[in-house]
Structure 1
Amino acid sequence: MTAVEQMLAPAQREMIREELLRSLGKLERSLKAAGAAARPRDLEQDTVGRLSRVEALQNAGFTKNLEAREQAQLEQIVAALHRLEDGSYGACNGCGAPIPFERLSIFPETLACSACTRGC
């Protein structure tokens, strides 16, 4: 068991794992719904007014941006789950110190302690 693993009690590790899995499921459902909503639409001039077409294009852009952010967050969560499995979860990528449980419980996918995040 690594020093970082010893810092987290088994109940804390399980709580974080459950939160990561819950977030993963939520993001997967959201990405699936966004994918269905982002399907191309027929924007013929005679069926949709000019402003409606602009709004439809803007909404498609917003949906695409949201999907990109959610995909990035999903990848962070999957990486955190892998770190939980391999024993490296909870170690700061910046300084190597254990990340406090309080921070991990709020940001379970975090890679850095608050000091390294602030750039101190």
Structure 2
Amino acid sequence: MMRNKFDIPEYKKRELSDLAEFIADEYFYDSFVCPYKLAQIYGITISFEDYKSAFDGLLEHCSGKFHIYLNSNQVKHKYEPRVRFTLAHELGHYIIDDHRIPLKMGLAPSHPSFTNFSSDNE
């Protein structure tokens, strides 16, 4: 069977699922998960600006700190489902060691994310 570059092994899916569950239980045991609050807990700053079609979200490490850029180009406000999804996606890059550590050490560049989010609730 040929795997595409986005196939995730089952053990890794379980590991990521366990990590997400731990974070939800640790910080949001009595409420819904709020990605803005999670960013604050981790000390990650956020910009919400119009970056045209450059990206939906971007996690950057600079001068010892992490920052997330969220694109306001296709949305009206930062609490729309699309933006929450994008923020959660970028937080995932931070939370997953295999993403955060190389970025922090300068071994991997920041890269734009395009989430292709769609929702019946938008």
Fold match by TM threshold 0.5: no
Q: Per residue, is there more strand in 1 or in 2?
A: 2
TM-score, length basis structure 1: 0.28
* Max Rg structure: 1
